[in-house]
Structure 1
Protein backbone atom coordinates (compact mmCIF):
# COMPACT_ATOMS: atom_id res chain seq x y z
CA UNK A 1 0.00 0.00 0.00
CA UNK A 2 1.45 3.39 0.98
CA UNK A 3 5.23 3.70 1.51
CA UNK A 4 6.22 7.17 2.78
CA UNK A 5 9.94 7.79 2.24
CA UNK A 6 11.67 9.50 5.18
CA UNK A 7 15.20 10.73 5.67
CA UNK A 8 16.02 9.90 9.26
CA UNK A 9 16.28 13.37 10.76
CA UNK A 10 14.95 14.05 14.24
CA UNK A 11 11.45 15.23 13.40
CA UNK A 12 11.00 12.61 10.68
CA UNK A 13 11.74 9.87 13.21
CA UNK A 14 9.47 11.49 15.81
CA UNK A 15 6.69 11.61 13.21
CA UNK A 16 7.04 7.88 12.55
CA UNK A 17 7.07 7.05 16.26
CA UNK A 18 3.98 9.12 16.97
CA UNK A 19 2.19 7.71 13.93
CA UNK A 20 3.28 4.09 14.45
CA UNK A 21 -0.17 2.81 15.53
CA UNK A 22 -1.91 4.47 12.57
CA UNK A 23 0.79 3.32 10.13
CA UNK A 24 0.38 -0.25 11.35
CA UNK A 25 -3.42 -0.14 11.32
CA UNK A 26 -3.50 1.27 7.78
CA UNK A 27 -0.89 -1.17 6.49
CA UNK A 28 1.49 1.67 5.60
CA UNK A 29 5.20 0.80 5.41
CA UNK A 30 7.64 3.67 5.97
CA UNK A 31 10.97 3.65 4.16
CA UNK A 32 13.71 5.18 6.31
CA UNK A 33 17.08 6.30 4.98
CA UNK A 34 19.20 6.95 8.11
CA UNK A 35 21.22 10.16 7.80
CA UNK A 36 22.43 10.77 11.36
CA UNK A 37 25.49 9.09 12.87
CA UNK A 38 23.69 8.30 16.12
CA UNK A 39 21.23 5.47 15.60
CA UNK A 40 19.49 5.70 18.97
CA UNK A 41 16.51 7.56 17.52
CA UNK A 42 16.25 5.07 14.67
CA UNK A 43 16.28 2.12 17.08
CA UNK A 44 13.53 3.69 19.21
CA UNK A 45 11.52 4.31 16.07
CA UNK A 46 11.85 0.74 14.82
CA UNK A 47 10.86 -0.63 18.23
CA UNK A 48 7.78 1.63 18.24
CA UNK A 49 6.83 0.27 14.82
CA UNK A 50 7.26 -3.33 15.96
CA UNK A 51 5.34 -2.76 19.19
CA UNK A 52 2.46 -1.35 17.13
CA UNK A 53 2.51 -4.41 14.86
CA UNK A 54 3.74 -2.47 11.85
CA UNK A 55 6.46 -2.87 9.25
CA UNK A 56 9.31 -0.70 7.93
CA UNK A 57 12.11 -0.71 5.39
CA UNK A 58 15.51 0.62 6.56
CA UNK A 59 18.09 1.59 3.95
CA UNK A 60 21.34 -0.16 4.95
CA UNK A 61 23.52 1.63 2.38
CA UNK A 62 22.29 5.26 2.44
CA UNK A 63 23.37 7.81 -0.10
CA UNK A 64 22.83 10.89 2.06
CA UNK A 65 24.08 11.89 5.48
CA UNK A 66 26.58 10.49 7.96
CA UNK A 67 26.34 6.89 6.71
CA UNK A 68 26.81 7.73 3.03
CA UNK A 69 30.26 6.12 2.91
CA UNK A 70 29.62 3.17 5.22
CA UNK A 71 26.34 1.67 6.43
CA UNK A 72 28.00 -0.96 8.63
CA UNK A 73 26.50 0.46 11.82
CA UNK A 74 23.01 0.27 10.35
CA UNK A 75 23.57 -3.35 9.38
CA UNK A 76 24.87 -4.04 12.88
CA UNK A 77 21.72 -2.53 14.38
CA UNK A 78 19.54 -4.88 12.34
CA UNK A 79 21.77 -7.85 13.09
CA UNK A 80 22.27 -7.29 16.82
CA UNK A 81 19.00 -5.68 17.89
CA UNK A 82 16.40 -6.84 15.38
CA UNK A 83 17.61 -10.25 14.21
CA UNK A 84 14.76 -12.56 13.28
CA UNK A 85 12.24 -9.72 13.14
CA UNK A 86 10.69 -10.04 9.70
CA UNK A 87 8.73 -6.83 10.22
CA UNK A 88 11.88 -4.80 9.56
CA UNK A 89 13.29 -5.12 6.06
CA UNK A 90 16.82 -4.20 4.99
CA UNK A 91 16.48 -1.76 2.13
CA UNK A 92 19.22 -2.07 -0.50
CA UNK A 93 19.55 1.25 -2.31
CA UNK A 94 20.48 0.83 -5.97
CA UNK A 95 21.77 4.08 -7.50
CA UNK A 96 23.48 4.94 -10.76
CA UNK A 97 26.91 4.26 -9.29
CA UNK A 98 25.87 0.91 -7.77
CA UNK A 99 27.32 -2.01 -9.71
CA UNK A 100 25.59 -5.37 -10.00
CA UNK A 101 28.35 -6.88 -7.86
CA UNK A 102 27.74 -4.26 -5.16
CA UNK A 103 24.02 -5.05 -5.23
CA UNK A 104 24.69 -8.78 -5.05
CA UNK A 105 27.13 -8.41 -2.14
CA UNK A 106 24.70 -6.26 -0.16
CA UNK A 107 21.86 -8.70 -0.83
CA UNK A 108 23.90 -11.69 0.37
CA UNK A 109 24.92 -9.80 3.52
CA UNK A 110 21.27 -9.09 4.36
CA UNK A 111 19.48 -12.24 3.24
CA UNK A 112 18.39 -12.79 6.85
CA UNK A 113 16.88 -9.29 7.05
CA UNK A 114 13.98 -9.70 4.61
CA UNK A 115 15.67 -7.48 1.97
CA UNK A 116 13.86 -4.97 -0.25
CA UNK A 117 15.49 -3.45 -3.32
CA UNK A 118 15.09 0.31 -3.67
CA UNK A 119 15.83 1.32 -7.26
CA UNK A 120 16.99 4.90 -7.81
CA UNK A 121 19.01 5.17 -11.02
CA UNK A 122 20.44 1.62 -11.10
CA UNK A 123 21.72 0.58 -14.53
CA UNK A 124 21.78 -3.24 -14.41
CA UNK A 125 18.17 -4.38 -13.84
CA UNK A 126 18.40 -7.37 -16.18
CA UNK A 127 21.46 -8.80 -14.41
CA UNK A 128 19.78 -8.41 -11.01
CA UNK A 129 16.53 -10.02 -12.16
CA UNK A 130 18.42 -12.95 -13.67
CA UNK A 131 20.48 -13.37 -10.49
CA UNK A 132 17.35 -13.51 -8.33
CA UNK A 133 15.90 -16.18 -10.65
CA UNK A 134 13.21 -18.21 -8.91
CA UNK A 135 13.42 -15.87 -5.90
CA UNK A 136 12.25 -12.92 -8.00
CA UNK A 137 8.59 -13.74 -7.43
CA UNK A 138 8.96 -13.45 -3.66
CA UNK A 139 11.12 -10.31 -3.73
CA UNK A 140 9.99 -6.69 -3.26
CA UNK A 141 11.18 -3.78 -5.38
CA UNK A 142 10.63 -0.09 -4.72
CA UNK A 143 11.13 2.20 -7.73
CA UNK A 144 11.98 5.82 -6.97
CA UNK A 145 11.24 6.99 -10.48
CA UNK A 146 8.62 8.30 -12.86
CA UNK A 147 5.87 6.18 -14.44
CA UNK A 148 7.62 6.33 -17.84
CA UNK A 149 10.32 3.85 -16.73
CA UNK A 150 8.15 0.94 -17.85
CA UNK A 151 10.89 -1.01 -19.65
CA UNK A 152 13.11 -0.92 -16.57
CA UNK A 153 10.34 -2.19 -14.30
CA UNK A 154 9.37 -4.98 -16.71
CA UNK A 155 12.41 -6.96 -15.54
CA UNK A 156 10.68 -7.30 -12.16
CA UNK A 157 7.11 -7.96 -13.32
CA UNK A 158 6.70 -11.11 -11.26
CA UNK A 159 7.79 -9.42 -8.02
CA UNK A 160 5.97 -7.13 -5.58
CA UNK A 161 6.47 -3.64 -7.02
CA UNK A 162 6.09 -0.24 -5.36
CA UNK A 163 6.36 3.11 -7.17
CA UNK A 164 7.57 6.17 -5.24
CA UNK A 165 7.28 9.64 -6.74
CA UNK A 166 8.17 13.07 -5.43
CA UNK A 167 5.10 15.30 -5.59
CA UNK A 168 6.65 18.22 -3.72
CA UNK A 169 8.06 21.09 -5.79
CA UNK A 170 11.02 22.55 -3.90
CA UNK A 171 11.19 26.36 -3.97
CA UNK A 172 12.00 29.27 -1.71
CA UNK A 173 9.17 29.60 0.80
CA UNK A 174 8.27 33.07 -0.41
CA UNK A 175 7.68 31.74 -3.93
CA UNK A 176 5.06 29.20 -2.85
CA UNK A 177 2.41 31.88 -2.36
CA UNK A 178 2.18 32.25 -6.14
CA UNK A 179 1.31 28.57 -6.60
CA UNK A 180 -1.23 27.61 -3.96
CA UNK A 181 -2.88 25.23 -4.18
CA UNK A 182 -1.09 23.09 -6.76
CA UNK A 183 -1.25 19.47 -7.86
CA UNK A 184 0.71 17.08 -5.67
CA UNK A 185 -0.02 13.55 -6.92
CA UNK A 186 -2.54 11.15 -8.39
CA UNK A 187 -0.47 8.04 -7.68
CA UNK A 188 -2.71 7.02 -4.76
CA UNK A 189 -5.47 6.63 -7.37
CA UNK A 190 -3.52 5.22 -10.33
CA UNK A 191 -0.81 2.95 -8.85
CA UNK A 192 -2.88 -0.16 -9.57
CA UNK A 193 -3.35 0.89 -13.19
CA UNK A 194 0.45 1.04 -13.46
CA UNK A 195 0.76 -2.56 -12.27
CA UNK A 196 2.03 -1.58 -8.83
CA UNK A 197 1.15 -3.20 -5.52
CA UNK A 198 1.71 0.08 -3.71
CA UNK A 199 2.89 3.66 -3.97
CA UNK A 200 4.89 6.18 -2.03
CA UNK A 201 6.13 9.76 -1.87
CA UNK A 202 8.48 12.04 0.07
CA UNK A 203 5.59 13.64 1.96
CA UNK A 204 5.74 17.45 2.16
CA UNK A 205 9.55 17.45 2.37
CA UNK A 206 10.53 16.29 -1.12
CA UNK A 207 13.42 14.26 -2.46
CA UNK A 208 16.00 16.99 -1.95
CA UNK A 209 18.33 16.37 0.97
CA UNK A 210 19.93 19.19 2.93
CA UNK A 211 21.53 19.30 6.35
CA UNK A 212 19.34 22.24 7.32
CA UNK A 213 19.02 25.75 6.05
CA UNK A 214 19.76 29.13 7.44
CA UNK A 215 17.22 31.52 8.93
CA UNK A 216 13.87 31.55 7.18
CA UNK A 217 12.97 34.72 5.31
CA UNK A 218 9.44 33.34 4.93
CA UNK A 219 7.58 30.65 6.85
CA UNK A 220 5.34 28.24 4.96
CA UNK A 221 2.86 25.62 6.17
CA UNK A 222 2.43 22.89 3.54
CA UNK A 223 -0.79 20.84 3.77
CA UNK A 224 -2.17 18.28 1.34
CA UNK A 225 -5.79 17.44 0.55
CA UNK A 226 -7.64 15.06 -1.74
CA UNK A 227 -10.22 16.66 -4.00
CA UNK A 228 -13.30 14.43 -4.51
CA UNK A 229 -14.53 16.86 -7.17
CA UNK A 230 -11.38 16.35 -9.25
CA UNK A 231 -11.01 12.55 -9.56
CA UNK A 232 -9.56 12.38 -6.02
CA UNK A 233 -6.32 14.00 -7.14
CA UNK A 234 -4.15 15.21 -4.25
CA UNK A 235 -3.31 18.91 -4.10
CA UNK A 236 -1.15 20.90 -1.71
CA UNK A 237 -1.71 24.26 -0.06
CA UNK A 238 1.19 26.55 0.80
CA UNK A 239 0.22 28.98 3.53
CA UNK A 240 3.06 31.54 3.46
CA UNK A 241 3.88 34.40 5.78
CA UNK A 242 3.28 37.91 4.49
CA UNK A 243 6.60 39.25 5.77
CA UNK A 244 9.54 37.77 3.86
CA UNK A 245 12.20 40.47 3.49
CA UNK A 246 14.28 39.76 6.61
CA UNK A 247 15.43 36.56 8.39
CA UNK A 248 14.00 37.69 11.72
CA UNK A 249 10.91 36.95 13.82
CA UNK A 250 10.04 33.36 12.78
CA UNK A 251 7.30 33.30 15.43
CA UNK A 252 5.60 36.33 13.90
CA UNK A 253 5.90 34.85 10.43
CA UNK A 254 4.45 31.56 11.63
CA UNK A 255 1.47 33.47 13.03
CA UNK A 256 0.92 35.11 9.64
CA UNK A 257 0.97 31.73 7.87
CA UNK A 258 -1.20 30.12 10.54
CA UNK A 259 -3.75 32.95 10.31
CA UNK A 260 -4.09 32.19 6.59
CA UNK A 261 -4.53 28.47 7.30
CA UNK A 262 -7.22 29.00 9.91
CA UNK A 263 -9.01 31.52 7.71
CA UNK A 264 -9.10 28.92 4.93
CA UNK A 265 -10.31 26.22 7.33
CA UNK A 266 -13.06 28.48 8.66
CA UNK A 267 -14.22 29.29 5.12
CA UNK A 268 -15.69 25.79 4.89
CA UNK A 269 -14.30 25.13 1.42
CA UNK A 270 -10.69 24.14 2.14
CA UNK A 271 -11.32 20.39 1.51
CA UNK A 272 -8.62 19.72 4.15
CA UNK A 273 -9.39 16.59 6.14
CA UNK A 274 -9.89 17.44 9.81
CA UNK A 275 -6.97 15.38 11.09
CA UNK A 276 -5.47 15.42 14.56
CA UNK A 277 -2.70 17.57 13.05
CA UNK A 278 -5.25 20.13 11.85
CA UNK A 279 -6.77 20.19 15.32
CA UNK A 280 -3.33 20.90 16.76
CA UNK A 281 -2.82 23.73 14.27
CA UNK A 282 -6.12 25.17 15.49
CA UNK A 283 -4.93 24.87 19.10
CA UNK A 284 -1.65 26.61 18.29
CA UNK A 285 -3.66 29.41 16.70
CA UNK A 286 -5.93 29.72 19.71
CA UNK A 287 -2.96 29.83 22.10
CA UNK A 288 -0.87 32.05 19.78
CA UNK A 289 2.03 29.64 20.30
CA UNK A 290 5.00 29.03 18.00
CA UNK A 291 6.39 25.50 18.60
CA UNK A 292 9.37 25.79 16.24
CA UNK A 293 9.73 25.10 12.53
CA UNK A 294 10.67 21.43 12.97
CA UNK A 295 7.47 20.84 14.91
CA UNK A 296 5.45 22.57 12.19
CA UNK A 297 6.96 20.27 9.58
CA UNK A 298 6.11 17.28 11.79
CA UNK A 299 2.46 18.34 11.94
CA UNK A 300 2.33 18.71 8.15
CA UNK A 301 3.79 15.22 7.69
CA UNK A 302 1.30 13.76 10.17
CA UNK A 303 -1.56 15.46 8.36
CA UNK A 304 -0.38 13.99 5.05
CA UNK A 305 -0.31 10.46 6.47
CA UNK A 306 -3.69 10.87 8.17
CA UNK A 307 -5.21 12.22 4.96
CA UNK A 308 -4.08 9.19 2.95
CA UNK A 309 -5.17 6.81 5.72
CA UNK A 310 -8.67 8.30 5.68
CA UNK A 311 -8.86 8.11 1.87
CA UNK A 312 -7.65 4.50 1.68
CA UNK A 313 -9.66 3.24 4.66
Structure 2
Protein backbone atom coordinates (compact mmCIF):
# COMPACT_ATOMS: atom_id res chain seq x y z
CA UNK A 1 0.00 0.00 0.00
CA UNK A 2 2.54 2.60 1.17
CA UNK A 3 5.76 2.93 -0.86
CA UNK A 4 8.31 5.28 0.75
CA UNK A 5 10.98 6.33 -1.77
CA UNK A 6 14.52 6.33 -0.35
CA UNK A 7 17.80 7.41 -1.89
CA UNK A 8 20.30 4.88 -0.61
CA UNK A 9 22.49 7.09 1.56
CA UNK A 10 23.79 5.83 4.91
CA UNK A 11 21.00 7.10 7.15
CA UNK A 12 18.26 6.30 4.65
CA UNK A 13 19.44 2.67 4.60
CA UNK A 14 19.68 2.61 8.39
CA UNK A 15 16.07 3.82 8.51
CA UNK A 16 15.05 0.96 6.22
CA UNK A 17 16.86 -1.55 8.44
CA UNK A 18 15.40 -0.22 11.67
CA UNK A 19 11.82 -0.12 10.33
CA UNK A 20 12.01 -3.32 8.22
CA UNK A 21 9.90 -5.37 10.65
CA UNK A 22 7.25 -2.66 10.99
CA UNK A 23 7.10 -2.12 7.21
CA UNK A 24 6.77 -5.87 6.59
CA UNK A 25 3.92 -6.12 9.12
CA UNK A 26 2.07 -3.28 7.39
CA UNK A 27 2.81 -4.46 3.81
CA UNK A 28 4.78 -1.27 3.17
CA UNK A 29 7.13 -1.63 0.17
CA UNK A 30 10.12 0.73 0.20
CA UNK A 31 11.57 1.89 -3.12
CA UNK A 32 15.35 2.27 -2.87
CA UNK A 33 17.51 4.10 -5.42
CA UNK A 34 21.13 3.17 -4.59
CA UNK A 35 23.37 6.24 -4.84
CA UNK A 36 26.58 5.11 -3.12
CA UNK A 37 29.29 3.04 -4.82
CA UNK A 38 29.57 0.61 -1.91
CA UNK A 39 26.55 -1.70 -1.83
CA UNK A 40 27.28 -3.19 1.61
CA UNK A 41 24.71 -0.99 3.35
CA UNK A 42 22.10 -1.80 0.71
CA UNK A 43 22.74 -5.54 1.07
CA UNK A 44 22.30 -5.33 4.87
CA UNK A 45 19.05 -3.38 4.47
CA UNK A 46 17.67 -5.89 1.95
CA UNK A 47 18.60 -8.83 4.17
CA UNK A 48 16.79 -7.15 7.06
CA UNK A 49 13.69 -6.77 4.85
CA UNK A 50 13.86 -10.43 3.79
CA UNK A 51 14.35 -11.62 7.39
CA UNK A 52 11.19 -9.69 8.31
CA UNK A 53 9.37 -11.33 5.36
CA UNK A 54 8.89 -7.95 3.72
CA UNK A 55 9.32 -6.67 0.17
CA UNK A 56 11.24 -3.86 -1.52
CA UNK A 57 11.87 -2.38 -4.96
CA UNK A 58 15.52 -1.62 -5.80
CA UNK A 59 16.28 0.67 -8.73
CA UNK A 60 18.78 -1.13 -10.99
CA UNK A 61 19.50 1.91 -13.20
CA UNK A 62 19.76 4.89 -10.82
CA UNK A 63 19.58 8.44 -12.13
CA UNK A 64 21.49 9.94 -9.19
CA UNK A 65 24.75 9.09 -7.46
CA UNK A 66 27.64 6.71 -8.13
CA UNK A 67 25.72 4.15 -10.24
CA UNK A 68 24.11 6.52 -12.76
CA UNK A 69 26.50 5.51 -15.54
CA UNK A 70 26.41 1.78 -14.79
CA UNK A 71 24.07 -0.17 -12.51
CA UNK A 72 25.70 -3.55 -13.17
CA UNK A 73 26.78 -3.93 -9.55
CA UNK A 74 23.19 -3.58 -8.36
CA UNK A 75 21.94 -6.14 -10.89
CA UNK A 76 24.69 -8.54 -9.81
CA UNK A 77 23.65 -8.14 -6.17
CA UNK A 78 20.10 -9.19 -7.08
CA UNK A 79 21.36 -12.04 -9.25
CA UNK A 80 23.24 -13.60 -6.32
CA UNK A 81 19.87 -14.98 -5.19
CA UNK A 82 20.29 -13.86 -1.58
CA UNK A 83 16.81 -12.37 -1.34
CA UNK A 84 14.46 -14.91 -2.90
CA UNK A 85 11.51 -13.24 -4.60
CA UNK A 86 11.18 -10.48 -2.01
CA UNK A 87 13.16 -7.86 -3.92
CA UNK A 88 11.82 -6.42 -7.17
CA UNK A 89 14.12 -4.87 -9.77
CA UNK A 90 12.98 -1.28 -10.25
CA UNK A 91 13.39 0.08 -13.77
CA UNK A 92 13.63 3.86 -13.54
CA UNK A 93 12.10 5.52 -16.59
CA UNK A 94 13.46 9.07 -16.79
CA UNK A 95 13.35 11.37 -19.80
CA UNK A 96 16.76 10.10 -20.95
CA UNK A 97 15.43 6.52 -21.44
CA UNK A 98 13.87 5.44 -24.74
CA UNK A 99 11.51 2.53 -25.32
CA UNK A 100 14.27 0.19 -26.55
CA UNK A 101 16.31 0.84 -23.36
CA UNK A 102 13.24 0.25 -21.18
CA UNK A 103 12.43 -3.03 -22.94
CA UNK A 104 16.05 -4.23 -22.75
CA UNK A 105 16.21 -3.49 -19.01
CA UNK A 106 12.88 -5.24 -18.47
CA UNK A 107 14.05 -8.33 -20.38
CA UNK A 108 17.30 -8.45 -18.43
CA UNK A 109 15.47 -8.45 -15.08
CA UNK A 110 12.50 -10.72 -15.79
CA UNK A 111 13.75 -13.05 -13.07
CA UNK A 112 13.39 -10.31 -10.45
CA UNK A 113 9.71 -9.42 -10.69
CA UNK A 114 10.44 -6.02 -12.33
CA UNK A 115 8.61 -2.82 -11.41
CA UNK A 116 8.50 0.23 -13.68
CA UNK A 117 9.14 3.57 -11.96
CA UNK A 118 7.87 6.38 -14.21
CA UNK A 119 9.69 9.69 -13.76
CA UNK A 120 9.81 11.62 -17.03
CA UNK A 121 9.52 8.84 -19.63
CA UNK A 122 7.77 9.94 -22.85
CA UNK A 123 7.02 6.64 -24.65
CA UNK A 124 4.28 5.42 -22.32
CA UNK A 125 2.00 4.32 -25.17
CA UNK A 126 4.74 2.17 -26.70
CA UNK A 127 5.56 0.61 -23.32
CA UNK A 128 1.92 -0.27 -22.66
CA UNK A 129 1.79 -1.81 -26.16
CA UNK A 130 4.94 -3.85 -25.47
CA UNK A 131 3.49 -5.19 -22.21
CA UNK A 132 0.10 -5.86 -23.89
CA UNK A 133 -1.37 -9.08 -22.45
CA UNK A 134 1.07 -9.14 -19.52
CA UNK A 135 0.08 -5.62 -18.36
CA UNK A 136 -2.22 -6.88 -15.55
CA UNK A 137 0.72 -8.76 -14.01
CA UNK A 138 2.97 -5.67 -13.93
CA UNK A 139 3.49 -2.99 -11.26
CA UNK A 140 3.99 0.69 -12.02
CA UNK A 141 5.18 3.42 -9.66
CA UNK A 142 4.40 6.92 -10.92
CA UNK A 143 6.25 9.99 -9.65
CA UNK A 144 3.29 12.36 -9.76
CA UNK A 145 5.18 15.41 -11.00
CA UNK A 146 6.12 13.48 -14.18
CA UNK A 147 3.03 11.32 -14.72
CA UNK A 148 -0.35 13.02 -15.02
CA UNK A 149 -3.76 11.31 -15.17
CA UNK A 150 -3.64 10.77 -18.94
CA UNK A 151 -0.17 9.26 -18.71
CA UNK A 152 -1.26 6.86 -15.96
CA UNK A 153 -4.35 5.85 -17.96
CA UNK A 154 -2.16 3.84 -20.37
CA UNK A 155 -1.44 1.39 -17.55
CA UNK A 156 -4.99 0.79 -16.31
CA UNK A 157 -5.44 -2.81 -15.24
CA UNK A 158 -1.93 -3.09 -13.77
CA UNK A 159 -0.95 -2.44 -10.13
CA UNK A 160 -0.47 1.33 -9.93
CA UNK A 161 1.21 3.36 -7.17
CA UNK A 162 1.34 7.15 -7.07
CA UNK A 163 4.28 8.86 -5.34
CA UNK A 164 3.92 12.52 -4.39
CA UNK A 165 6.62 14.81 -3.03
CA UNK A 166 4.93 16.47 -0.06
CA UNK A 167 8.07 18.19 1.20
CA UNK A 168 8.41 21.80 0.06
CA UNK A 169 12.15 22.35 -0.04
CA UNK A 170 13.61 25.62 1.30
CA UNK A 171 16.71 26.81 3.12
CA UNK A 172 16.45 25.65 6.73
CA UNK A 173 16.29 29.22 8.08
CA UNK A 174 13.25 29.95 5.89
CA UNK A 175 11.24 27.20 7.59
CA UNK A 176 11.18 29.35 10.74
CA UNK A 177 8.55 31.55 9.04
CA UNK A 178 6.37 28.47 8.37
CA UNK A 179 6.41 26.38 11.55
CA UNK A 180 3.68 24.03 10.27
CA UNK A 181 2.19 23.37 6.81
CA UNK A 182 0.23 20.76 4.90
CA UNK A 183 2.25 17.74 3.75
CA UNK A 184 -0.19 15.46 1.90
CA UNK A 185 -3.68 14.01 1.74
CA UNK A 186 -2.63 11.23 -0.65
CA UNK A 187 -3.09 8.57 2.05
CA UNK A 188 -6.79 9.51 1.99
CA UNK A 189 -7.37 9.97 -1.75
CA UNK A 190 -5.08 7.56 -3.64
CA UNK A 191 -7.75 4.91 -4.06
CA UNK A 192 -11.14 6.65 -4.00
CA UNK A 193 -10.24 9.78 -5.98
CA UNK A 194 -7.27 8.68 -8.07
CA UNK A 195 -7.93 4.97 -8.68
CA UNK A 196 -4.49 3.91 -7.47
CA UNK A 197 -3.61 0.69 -5.65
CA UNK A 198 -1.02 2.34 -3.43
CA UNK A 199 0.72 5.61 -2.66
CA UNK A 200 4.13 6.87 -1.64
CA UNK A 201 6.25 9.91 -0.87
CA UNK A 202 9.86 11.00 -0.44
CA UNK A 203 9.32 11.17 3.34
CA UNK A 204 10.39 14.49 4.85
CA UNK A 205 13.56 14.55 2.73
CA UNK A 206 11.95 15.45 -0.61
CA UNK A 207 12.75 14.45 -4.16
CA UNK A 208 15.64 16.89 -4.69
CA UNK A 209 18.89 14.92 -4.51
CA UNK A 210 22.12 16.35 -3.14
CA UNK A 211 25.34 14.61 -2.18
CA UNK A 212 25.33 16.47 1.12
CA UNK A 213 25.41 20.18 1.78
CA UNK A 214 28.00 22.29 3.49
CA UNK A 215 27.82 23.43 7.12
CA UNK A 216 24.28 24.23 8.26
CA UNK A 217 23.51 27.86 9.04
CA UNK A 218 20.27 26.70 10.67
CA UNK A 219 19.24 23.28 11.98
CA UNK A 220 15.67 22.11 11.39
CA UNK A 221 13.78 19.08 12.70
CA UNK A 222 10.93 18.09 10.35
CA UNK A 223 8.17 15.94 11.84
CA UNK A 224 4.89 14.84 10.29
CA UNK A 225 1.53 14.27 11.98
CA UNK A 226 -2.00 13.37 10.96
CA UNK A 227 -4.57 15.92 12.12
CA UNK A 228 -7.89 14.35 13.20
CA UNK A 229 -9.41 17.85 13.35
CA UNK A 230 -8.59 18.56 9.68
CA UNK A 231 -10.06 15.53 7.91
CA UNK A 232 -6.98 13.44 8.82
CA UNK A 233 -4.74 15.33 6.40
CA UNK A 234 -1.01 14.96 7.08
CA UNK A 235 0.88 18.09 8.17
CA UNK A 236 4.54 18.73 8.87
CA UNK A 237 6.21 20.73 11.65
CA UNK A 238 9.49 22.56 11.11
CA UNK A 239 11.33 23.15 14.39
CA UNK A 240 14.18 25.52 13.51
CA UNK A 241 17.16 26.80 15.51
CA UNK A 242 17.10 30.42 16.64
CA UNK A 243 20.73 31.04 15.65
CA UNK A 244 21.17 31.01 11.86
CA UNK A 245 23.75 33.64 10.91
CA UNK A 246 26.96 31.53 10.94
CA UNK A 247 27.75 27.95 9.88
CA UNK A 248 29.16 27.04 13.31
CA UNK A 249 27.93 25.16 16.40
CA UNK A 250 25.51 22.60 14.88
CA UNK A 251 25.17 20.99 18.33
CA UNK A 252 23.96 24.25 19.89
CA UNK A 253 21.57 24.84 17.00
CA UNK A 254 20.19 21.31 17.29
CA UNK A 255 19.62 21.99 21.00
CA UNK A 256 17.59 25.11 20.12
CA UNK A 257 15.45 23.26 17.56
CA UNK A 258 14.99 20.31 19.94
CA UNK A 259 13.90 22.66 22.74
CA UNK A 260 11.13 23.97 20.46
CA UNK A 261 10.04 20.40 19.70
CA UNK A 262 9.96 19.42 23.40
CA UNK A 263 7.96 22.54 24.32
CA UNK A 264 5.42 21.67 21.63
CA UNK A 265 5.22 18.05 22.75
CA UNK A 266 4.77 19.05 26.39
CA UNK A 267 2.03 21.54 25.49
CA UNK A 268 -0.27 18.60 24.77
CA UNK A 269 -1.43 20.24 21.52
CA UNK A 270 1.18 18.92 19.07
CA UNK A 271 -0.90 15.97 17.70
CA UNK A 272 2.46 14.22 17.13
CA UNK A 273 2.25 10.46 17.67
CA UNK A 274 4.50 9.29 20.53
CA UNK A 275 6.59 7.05 18.30
CA UNK A 276 9.88 5.37 19.21
CA UNK A 277 11.57 8.21 17.32
CA UNK A 278 9.83 10.84 19.48
CA UNK A 279 10.90 8.93 22.60
CA UNK A 280 14.47 9.12 21.31
CA UNK A 281 14.17 12.88 20.72
CA UNK A 282 13.01 13.16 24.35
CA UNK A 283 16.04 11.14 25.49
CA UNK A 284 18.42 13.31 23.48
CA UNK A 285 16.91 16.39 25.12
CA UNK A 286 17.21 14.89 28.60
CA UNK A 287 20.88 14.00 28.01
CA UNK A 288 21.73 17.20 26.16
CA UNK A 289 23.27 15.06 23.41
CA UNK A 290 23.77 15.94 19.72
CA UNK A 291 24.00 12.71 17.64
CA UNK A 292 24.80 14.40 14.29
CA UNK A 293 22.53 15.78 11.59
CA UNK A 294 22.28 12.50 9.67
CA UNK A 295 21.01 10.76 12.78
CA UNK A 296 18.42 13.50 13.33
CA UNK A 297 17.17 12.98 9.77
CA UNK A 298 16.96 9.22 10.42
CA UNK A 299 14.77 9.83 13.48
CA UNK A 300 12.44 12.07 11.46
CA UNK A 301 12.14 9.42 8.72
CA UNK A 302 11.44 6.70 11.31
CA UNK A 303 8.77 8.88 12.90
CA UNK A 304 7.11 9.40 9.51
CA UNK A 305 6.95 5.64 8.82
CA UNK A 306 5.74 4.89 12.35
CA UNK A 307 3.04 7.57 12.03
CA UNK A 308 1.70 6.12 8.75
CA UNK A 309 1.92 2.56 10.11
CA UNK A 310 -0.18 3.57 13.11
CA UNK A 311 -2.75 5.36 10.93
CA UNK A 312 -3.05 2.70 8.22
CA UNK A 313 -2.83 -0.20 10.66
Secondary structure of the corresponding residue to residue 265 of structure 1: helix
Unmatched 5+ residue regions in structure 2? none
What is the deviation of 1:82?
3.2
Q: How far did residue 180 of structure 1 move?
A: 1.6
- Counterparts of 1:20-59 in structure 2, within 5 Å, are 20-59=20-59
Q: Secondary structure at the match of 2:80?
A: helix
Residue 81 of structure 1, CA deviation: 3.9
**How far did residue 147 of structure 1 move?**
9.5
Quote the residue 2:243 is aligned against: 243
Q: Residues of 2 paired with 1:10 and 1:216: CA distance?
A: 19
> Counterparts in 2 of 1:56-205, with a 5 A limit?
56-82=56-82, 85-146=84-145, 149-193=148-192, 194-205=194-205
**Partner Cα distance (2:305, 2:185) in 1:** 15
Q: Any stretches of 5+ residues in structure 1 without a counterpart? A: none
What corresponds to 1:227 in structure 2? Answer: 227
Q: How does 1:200-215 map to 2 (within 5 A)?
A: 200-215=200-215
**Structure 1 residues 148, 40: CA separation in 2 closer, same or farther (over 3 Å shift)?**
closer
Please give the secondary structure, in 1, of the residue aligned with 2:135. Answer: helix
TM-score normalised by structure 1 residue count: 0.98
Match of 2:294 in 1: 294
Preserved contact between residue 118 and residue 147 of structure 2 (Cα < 8 Å): no
8 Å CA contact retained: 2:119, 2:147: no
CA contact (8 A) 2:118 2:146 kept: no
Shift of the alpha carbon at 1:80?
1.5
Detail structure 1 runs of 4+ shifted over 3 Å in the superposition.
none
RMSD: 1.0
- Measured in 2, the distance between the counterparts of 1:305 and 1:148 equals 25
Distance 1:82 1:103 in 2: 25
Equivalent residue of 1:32, what SS? strand
Q: Cα gap change, 1:148/1:102 in structure 2, threshold over 3 Å: closer, same or farther?
A: closer
- How many pairs align? 312
In 1, distance between residues paired with 2:149 and 2:253?
44
1:193-229, CA deviations, whole angstroms, 9 ceiling, x for partnerless residues? 2000000000010000000000000000000000011
Secondary structure at the residue paired with 2:88?
strand
Q: Per-residue displacement from partner, 1:227-274 (whole Å, max 9, x unpaired)? A: 011111100000000000011111000000000000000000000001
